[in-house]
Amino acid sequence: MGNTTKKICVAGSLNVDLTLRLERFHQPGETVIAKSIHTYAGGKGGNQGVAVAKLGHPVMMVGMLGEDDNGRFYRDTLKKNGVDAECVGSAPNTPSGTAVIEVDDRGENRIAIIPGTNGLVNNAYMDSVMERMLTCDIFMLQYEIDLATDAYLAKILHDAGKQLILDPAPAAPAPDGLYANIDFITPNATELATLTGAHVDSEEEVVRAAHMLLNRGVGAVIAKLGPKGCIYVDKETVVPVAGFCVETVDTTAAGDSFNAGFAVALAEGMQIRDALRLANAVGALSTTGAGAQSSMPTRAQVDAILSRS
Ligand code: RIB
């Protein structure tokens, strides 16, 4: 762990992932034989929380699970990874969130989500845990709970002087006022294109699209470009940072892992280029094994790849 006391809080989704391995993605109307099926803890919120914890940094999770087998499995996972789950509520009559994921032989994925209890995380729930949340310094949000609640929370946290990182995934138009309360937005290329309607095939196009988000009020844009690394854009600077070359098995949660690495680096007070290098390393290493959380790296693994390159 770094020598900081800054605490990270993740507010968002917790899904149990049902992951199918397939040789290739199939066509509508086509039946194929899958190679395997596995159950993993996932959800963009939970993935970000567990990735922070695996890096050895204190993290609090805010979300909702059902009182079902999946909910119990997930609580156990959070506990094993050392995530503070006191603000993860329980809902008796709704199933925990689930995701059905297909991963092909290149490690690419396709995901469909059934929100379940994630859909119950609302403003009133945030109010009920706000006092504890406000003991944290850096907040990580995504788009797998009600977007209006993301916006509600972001305003309170921003007004309280907290730092906010928004992963706009799955991509959706932002509710009014949300962007103005966000310090860092972290779309991947597909999300950046969807949010702006712009082409993002070259670095120049990515920077131009990022400026469209800056003009809507976010403090800075970090475009996540997979193996190519990432590009940081704020009103004054553009910082491209190269990615790491690894043997990819499964890209699920690579973006979540990147965000966790960035949040930890921010908590440790790193300069932006070093922070993004660390984030790239965490994202890359997370693709080297199957499943969302199982392959997320420890800090020692991240430091090893950083010192080699
Ligand atoms: O970002 C990956 C995650 O997206 C998966 O774990 C799945 O649950 C969906 O939320």
- pLDDT for the residue numbered 221: 98
Known active-site residue 250: no
- How big is the CA angle at 307 (ends 254 and 6), to the nearest 5 degrees? 60
Nearest to 71 by CA among 57, 89, 56: 89
Residue 21: alpha-carbon gap to chain centroid: 22
Confirm or reject: Cβ of 47 under 6 Å from ligand 1. Answer: yes
Please, what is the average pLDDT of the chain? 96
Nearest to 126 by CA among 137, 141, 138: 141
- pLDDT for the residue numbered 295: 87
From the number of C-beta atoms within 10 Å of its C-beta (0-12, 13-18, 19+), residue 246 rates as middle
Residue 257 has pLDDT above 70, yes or no: yes
Q: Please state, for a pLDDT cut of 70, what percent of the chain lies above it.
A: 99
Candidate list 176, 250, 256, 274, residue with the active-site label: 256
Confirm or reject: Cβ of 85 under 6 Å from ligand 1. Answer: no
Average pLDDT over residues 127-144: 98
pLDDT tens, residue by residue, 29-42: 999 999 999 999 99
- pLDDT for the residue numbered 4: 53
Nearest residue by C-alpha to atom 10 in ligand 1: 43
The pTM (predicted TM-score) of the whole model is 0.96
To which residue do tokens 């305003």 refer?
155
DSSP state of 104: -
Residue 202 has pLDDT above 90, yes or no: yes
Confirm or reject: Cβ of 256 under 6 Å from ligand 1. Answer: yes
pLDDT tens, residue by residue, 278-307: 999 999 999 999 998 998 999 999 999 999
Residue 134 has pLDDT above 70, yes or no: yes
Is residue 267 within 8 Å of 254, Cβ to Cβ? no
- pLDDT for the residue numbered 309: 75
Residue 229 has pLDDT above 70, yes or no: yes
Q: Do you find a cis peptide bond into 175, omega within 30 degrees of 0?
A: no
- In the chain, DSSP finds a helix count (H) and a strand count (E) of 9, 13
Query: Could you write out the DSSP letters of every residue in 200-265?
Result: -SSHHHHHHHHHHHHHTT-SEEEEE-GGG-EEEE-SS-EEEE-------S--TTHHHHHHHHHHHH
- pLDDT for the residue numbered 11: 98
- pLDDT for the residue numbered 1: 46
pLDDT band at 5 (very low <50, low <70, confident <90, very high): confident
pLDDT tens, residue by residue, 172-200: 999 999 999 999 999 999 999 999 999 99
**Partner residues linked to 228 by β-bridges:** none
Average pLDDT over residues 2-31: 91
Is residue 109 within 8 Å of 291, Cβ to Cβ? no
Residue 162 has pLDDT above 90, yes or no: yes
Confirm or reject: Cβ of 99 under 6 Å from ligand 1. Answer: yes
Q: Give the CA distances from residue 122 to residues 16, 107, 139, in Å, rounded to whole numbers and listed in that order.
A: 20, 34, 17
